[in-house]
């Protein structure tokens, strides 16, 4: 494990002390001015997050900026920390439900998508920035005859989100192939963590709880390294085609954010929801998909509150009928009343 300082981060002395609690509107205004000086008209105010989530749902972000590379990501995060304004890192907007009230503070959409492949005799090392799309890495690795990420074909999430939630499909998981991640710490240090330090679990990692806090101490994933191994391109292509066929046959085509609940110890969540009689249940324009009961889809003008109502309904029905408590796989983001 090694430590280096982010080149664009300010030294510790330039940060406001953690004990200083600036007036929120004043701090937000100050950050807005600093960001306007940094990125100009790329800074958006009251940006509707429905334009940036796979649900096509979500209220406004006070401030919104898109970053294109790792160094800019470091600078923007450092500014938010300096002014003590909460920030939320957004990847491709999957696996989250943003409230109708939106997100207070700064939303940073990470489009830092650089990647580098180092091929050796027995293995290959693929390094990618956190904003890279997992499905693009899967395609790139297969093109080079490298196995380990082919299960990610069709998964629309980013590398950062995939690490946070230990993404997986068809028996493969991020935790199976991750070597290490580089993160930006609260003090501006870039720290490398080995896979064992990420503390992976089923659809979780040490970063998931930290991300929910959205405080100055929340680490930011910058890059990830994956270990791949050689395999026939033909065999990999056939496997990817079969995964794609299964995904299209089982999953709905309407806007969604993927699986709503984690699989339980005994049964898939979708099976329990269907047995509870809720498949196809609709509230407003939100619907428990008739195709797969562990998906909630947006039929056009669904609100986050509609989706949340269906989530609560499914949880209550499954608990009442089967005594099993469903655990969310998706994250509720933004301002919620409960």
H or E element that contains 314 = helix 304-322
H or E element that contains 42 = none
- Return the active site residues: 203, 259, 329
Closest CA to 315 of 283, 279, 272, 259: 272
CA distance 45 to 31: 12
Q: What is the CA radius of gyration of the chain?
A: 21
CA distance 97 to 260: 10
- CA distances (Å), 303 to each of 13, 58, 95, 144, in order? 44, 8, 16, 43
What is the per-residue burial (b if ≥16 Cβ within 10 Å, else e) of 49-75? bbebbbbbbbbbbbbbbbbbebebbbb
């Amino acid at each position: 494990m090694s430590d280096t300082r982010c080149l664009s981060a300010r030294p510790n002395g330039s940060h406001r002390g953690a004990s200083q609690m600036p007036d929120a509107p004043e701090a937000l205004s100050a950050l807005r001015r600093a960001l306007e000086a940094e990125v100009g008209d790329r800074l958006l105010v009251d940006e509707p997050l429905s334009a940036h989530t796979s649900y096509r749902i979500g209220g406004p972000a006070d401030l919104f900026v898109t970053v294109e590379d790792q160094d800019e990501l470091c600078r923007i995060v450092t500014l938010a920390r300096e002014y003590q304004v909460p920030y939320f890192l957004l990847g491709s907007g999957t696996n989250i439900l943003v409230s109708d009230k939106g997100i207070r503070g700064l939303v940073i959409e990470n489009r830092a998508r650089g990647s580098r492949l180092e091929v050796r005799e027995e293995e290959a090392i693929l390094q990618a920035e956190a904003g890279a799309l997992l499905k693009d890495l899967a395609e790139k690795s297969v093109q080079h005859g490298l196995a380990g990420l082919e299960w990610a074909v069709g998964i629309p999430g980013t590398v950062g989100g995939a690490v946070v939630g230990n993404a997986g499909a068809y028996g493969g998981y991020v935790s199976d192939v991750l070597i290490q991640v580089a993160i930006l710490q609260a003090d501006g240090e870039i720290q490398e963590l080995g896979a064992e330090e990420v503390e992976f679990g089923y659809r979780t990692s040490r970063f998931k709880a930290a991300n929910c806090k959205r405080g100055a101490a929340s680490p930011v994933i910058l890059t990830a390294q994956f270990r791949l191994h050689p395999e026939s391109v033909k065999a990999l292509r056939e496997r990817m085609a079969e995964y794609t066929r299964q995904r299209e046959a089982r999953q709905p085509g309407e806007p969604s954010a993927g699986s709503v609940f984690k699989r339980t110890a005994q049964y898939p969540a979708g099976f329990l929801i269907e047995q509870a009689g809720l498949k196809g249940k609709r509230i407003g324009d939100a619907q428990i998909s008739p195709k797969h009961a562990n998906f909630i889809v947006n039929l056009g003008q669904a609100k986050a509150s509609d989706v949340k109502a269906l989530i609560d309904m499914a949880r209550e029905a499954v608990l009442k009928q089967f005594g099993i408590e469903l655990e969310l796989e998706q994250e509720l983001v933004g301002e919620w009343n409960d």
